[in-house]
Amino acid sequence: MTYGRVRSLAGDAWRLRDALEQWITSPPTHTLVDHLNIEHLSDLYITLPTRDGTRRPYEVPEVGDPLPYGHHLAFFHARRAEAQLRADGTDEDISPPSPFTKRMWAGGKITWNSSNPLLVGKSTNGVSTVAKSEKKGFDKGKPMIFVTQKIEYSQGGHTTPSVVEEREHVYFHAEIFANRKKIFDREVKGIPTTVDFSFKYTPTPVTLFRYSALMFNAHHIHLDKEYCEKEEGYPERLVHGPLTAQMLLDTVNFHHPEAKFHKFEYRATNPLFVNRELTINGVWLDKTNIQLWCTDAGGVVGMTGTVEIQ
């Protein structure tokens, strides 16, 4: 390698480092407006097996109804031209700069204000900021950026948001991620040995396509099997993290429709794949707290969570 080439590579490395540090110091903010329209919500209902009418009578959503818990996840999507998306179909709205372009939805937290719920059909602002960003693994040759995105949802000029959400994403160095060994069956400790209620369903390619469409999400890992195998090292298409989180919430609602939620925290623990039966389990820890987890047919735990009931 020539001296000029070495200098060029060193310069590139410094520019990338400076761009990352600038992003961490001055992260982006975004405000999205959505009217929570009834047609879009109806499409979400018919996509979720907990609400599509096959397990319990279908309930038609009405304008002015409180938006069901977690259903805001299918709204407030990034609106970017295809030319502005990354090669894997993801947007860059809250993402750190290249080369940290491989994104994984790691978990999150949602808190609801029961005195001021989001209402269907009403104009809603979603104000998104970066609450926290943290570099990890840089000293081990496995650099990652952990980003906590905070979104406050409010309607009608209220100063107090109706819903406050924190989404935790991990962004990987694209080249290093491509060669990283993938683990699909990490042991998850603390799983209860008893179950108070459960819900089984199988996310099919149609499920993933519909949910991607609802979220305006073109991420190839949910849609393209060949891409998953050759580019990401996965054996199949991945189930959306927010879909599984939403199914955890809807399973509680399915069995306890009278329950009023205050807070939900969840963590993705292993990838979940298309066409594999999933079981969502719940157990009451006490009168106000429920522990939840989702497993595939092989017993792999893909997500855990807790719901606090008012």
> Could you read off the pLDDT of 17-73 as tens digits, one per residue?
889 999 999 999 999 999 999 999 999 999 999 999 999 999 999 999 999 999 999
pLDDT computed for residue 13 by the predictor: 55
Interval 219-244 mean pLDDT? 96
Cα 106 from chain centre: 7
What's the burial of 124, exposed, middle or buried (CB within 10 Å: 0-12/13-18/19+)?
Answer: buried
Interval 107-120 mean pLDDT? 97
Interval 248-269 mean pLDDT? 98
pLDDT computed for residue 8 by the predictor: 42
**Distance (Å, whole) CA 290 – CA 264:** 10
Global confidence as pTM:
0.92
- pLDDT bin (cut points 50, 70, 90) of residue 92 is confident
Please work out, in degrees rounded to the nearest 5, the angle formed at the alpha carbon of residue 223 by the alpha carbons of 103 and 94: 25
pLDDT computed for residue 82 by the predictor: 95
Q: Could you please report the per-residue DSSP string of 266-287?
A: EEE-S--BTTS-EEEEEEESSS
Q: Give residue-wise pLDDT tens across range 170-219.
A: 999 988 887 788 889 999 999 999 999 999 999 999 999 999 999 999 99
Cross-strand pairs, 103: 171
CB 219 within 8 A of CB 213: no
Listed in sequence order, the residues at least 6 apart from 104 whose beta carbon sits closer than 8 Å to its beta carbon are: 169, 170, 171, 172, 241, 268
Q: What share of the chain is helix, strand, coil (3-state, %, to 5)?
A: 25, 30, 45
Judged against a pLDDT cut of 70, whether residue 12 lies above it is answered with no
Judged against a pLDDT cut of 50, whether residue 233 lies above it is answered with yes
pLDDT computed for residue 182 by the predictor: 85
**Mean pLDDT, all residues of the chain:** 93
Nearest to 101 by CA among 27, 178, 25, 168: 178
pLDDT computed for residue 273 by the predictor: 98
**Distance (Å, whole) CA 301 – CA 191:** 9
Judged against a pLDDT cut of 70, whether residue 14 lies above it is answered with no
Judged against a pLDDT cut of 50, whether residue 291 lies above it is answered with yes
- pLDDT bin (cut points 50, 70, 90) of residue 1 is very low
Assign 3-class secondary structure to 282-309: EEECCCCEEEEEEEECCCCEEEEEEEEE
Portion of the chain with pLDDT greater than 90, in percent: 83
Interval 221-248 mean pLDDT? 96
CB 136 within 8 A of CB 146: yes
- Residue predicted with more confidence, 150 or 13: 150
Judged against a pLDDT cut of 90, whether residue 9 lies above it is answered with no
Judged against a pLDDT cut of 50, whether residue 11 lies above it is answered with no
